[in-house]
Chains A and B, each alone.
Chain A
């Protein structure tokens, strides 16, 4: 009985401290993040509305991002999208074709480690999913890098917009060599299946990839994430 009481006490204390962390993080999100990120939803319904957004929606952050990555990234933010959130606002014509207008890119503010812990705890509580997401969407199987790259580049053309290693691939979309460290695998499966289910004005087209091939693509992204890109 004594053991039960002690265990219950510790679980309650842990839960309360986790709640307190998320609550103080929630205030931080409202004060520091809400001017650029949508924390409450719903997703933009028109193109005009979507193209006015300054940064990714966060109202389903808890089912999209990985908490450890969020915390570390908020302490030391790096650029994930070479040409910014909406690439077409950050490019200019150059002598050999269009180039990124680096002066127009906005640097994401950094948080202290304590703030980052609070913010990521609060972000993981945001789960206003625009679509249904089943747990266990990703089957967890692995794929060789060569087969994965073939699926990603040759068969689906994803490299047109995404970099598969630093300096190699398209620039308009987010880099994918870190994506499996950033995003939950189940979300990746669902997003590739239908980007428009998550955002009707997503810049990512729906290629109607077969289910088995979606698994291969996500397995490749997981493999890419395990490489040392430093």
Chain B
């Protein structure tokens, strides 16, 4: 039964029909640090040793490729020599969902 549950869970996670879109996932997982406006002013920042990136900063966001953004969301800050505070979201979102977040980031920074 437990194996069946795990199978169903993995099917739901990987099936695009059940995936949330980039904006919805950004709201659920990114707002807490990067803020409702994407400006890096989330509710968690007060005691953070490294402040979250401002996703509305056109200049700094333009310096990041889509591949880099994908990698840091999927594998976490340490994967690109950035802060441990940025966690890896690979187990939470599918590659397609992470790509949708990257597309949403490009909208936020107006640097697509």
Hey, which bits of chain A sit against chain B, CB under 8 A? 42-43, 45-48, 51, 83, 86-88, 91-93, 96-100, 130-132, 154-157, 159-161, 168-172, 194-197, 200-203, 205-208
A45 vs B4: C-alpha distance when bound (angstroms)? 13
| Distance in angstroms between the alpha carbons of A159 and B48 in the assembled complex | 8
Instruction: Determine the residue in chain A with the shortest Cβ distance to B26.
Output: A88
A132 and B2 contacting across the interface, CB-CB below 8 Å: yes
The chain A residue sitting closest to B33, CB to CB, is A160
State how many residues of chain B have any CB contact under 8 Å with chain A. Answer: 41
If the complex has contacts A168-B47, A171-B43, are A98 and B35 also in contact, measured as CB distance less than 8 A? yes
The yes or no answer to B37 lying at the interface (CB within 8 A) is yes
Residues of B within 8 A of A200 (CB): 9, 12-13
In the complex, A92 Cα to B36 Cα: how many Å? 8
Max count, chain B CB within 10 A of own CB: residue among A45, A88, A156: A88
Contacts of B35 in A (CB 8 A): 93, 97-98
Bits for B17-29, please: 1 = Cβ < 8 Å to A, else 0: 0111000110111
Determine if B76 and A207 form an interchain contact, defined as CB atoms under 8 angstroms apart: yes
A159 to B12, CA, bound (A): 30
In the bound complex, residues from chain A placing their C-beta under 8 Å from that of B88 are: 205-208
B85 proximal to A (CB < 8 A): yes
Task: Quote the shortest CB–CB distance from A76 to chain B (angstroms).
Answer: 26
B92 part of interface (Cβ distance < 8 Å): yes
Contact of B31 among A98, A132, A169 (CB under 8 A): A98
- Taking CB atoms, residues of chain B closer than 8 Å to A46 are 12, 18
